[in-house]
Amino acid sequence: MSKTMRACRLLPTLALAWLLTACTTAATKPPPATPTRTVETRAGVCTQWLGIHYSRDDTQPTKDQVRENNASRDAYCGPPH
C-alpha cells in the first residue's frame, strides 16, 4: 500500500477523533469566573460617588432623580459620613 493511500485512510479517522475530542472538551469546560466586587473596589467607588444636592429652583423630576441617586449611593456605600 502506498504512503498516499495510508494517509487517505488515516486522515478521516484523525479528523473524527479530533472532532469528538473537541466536543467533549467544550461540554466539560467550566464557565469563566465572574469578577466579584471587593472591599477595595467598593471603597474606591464610594470615595468618588458623592452625594448630589438640588436647589429650590430645580424641577420636581430633577429633585426626584437626585433623591434616587442619593438613595442608590446610600444603599451601595452606606450613609454618608
Kindly give the parts of the chain with pLDDT less than 50: none
Please give the span between the terminal C-alpha atoms of the chain, in angstroms, as a whole number.
85
pLDDT in tens, 36-58: 555 666 778 888 888 899 999 99
CA dihedral 38, 41, 42, 46 (to 10 degrees): 170
What is the number of H-type helices and E-type strands within the chain?
A: 3, 0
> What CA–CA distance (Å, rounded) separates 51 from 40?
20
- Report the predicted TM-score, pTM, of the whole model to 2 decimal places: 0.47
